[in-house]
Amino acid sequence: MLQLIRKDFLLQRNVFFILLPILFIYLLLDTSTTWIGIIFSIALIMNAFSEDEKSAVHLLLNSLPYTRKELVTAKYLGALLFAVITLFVIAASNWIIHSERMQWAQLVFSISVVLTFVSIAFPVSYIFHSKYLGIAFIGLFVIYMIIANTFVHNVQERVINTARTIMSLEVSNLYMLVFLPALLLYLLSWLTSIFIYKQKTR
């Protein structure tokens, strides 16, 4: 199973080096490291997932001596590692550029958001296809913009303020109220994806 995770990292190596200059540009522009970490982590994770959906890769994976449970578990462990490594690189880069350390609250919040996203995205992608997930999020974004500009004009401000309120909590409270629920959801999602993948590939 470690070879499956290693395979994902090798495949994403080129993508990471392409995204790295963009990451530095965002940090130089003093963009929020929290949101950069979330967006870059999700981009790498979903790109790795979509690579395995290609017919040739999918057939190859199912011909290898791995169980369906191991294939799904490798994806979930790989996603977690992608998020941790990406946030570590962002924290190190932010310290080099701005001489500022990312607070633990930012790291916990970022990893919690990524875990929550993956918990929803992976089962949906196993049922349908990750490209449909992208279409769904574009549709949700359009709806969000319509609501923000027509009905609730300060919705973006409310979202930002809510995120700031959460990150202002003590780290111990942040673990209990944000990280642990996200981790439990992640574990439930992992079990759900195993069941879905077993049923789908019979």
- The full set of domain ranges for the chain reads 2-200
Q: Along the 202 residues of the chain, how does pLDDT read in single tens digits?
A: 677 777 777 777 777 777 777 777 777 776 677 888 888 888 888 888 877 666 455 555 555 667 888 888 989 999 999 888 888 888 888 788 777 777 778 888 889 999 999 999 999 888 887 666 666 666 666 676 666 667 666 666 776 677 777 777 776 777 778 899 999 999 999 999 999 888 875 5
Calculate Rg over the CA atoms of the chain: 18
Q: How far apart are CA 47 and CA 43, in angstroms?
A: 6
Predicted structure pTM score = 0.80
Q: Which two tokens mark 67?
A: 């169980």
Q: Which among 54, 106, 52 is positioned nearest to 79, based on CA atoms?
A: 52
Q: Which among 199, 180, 22 is positioned nearest to 126, based on CA atoms?
A: 199
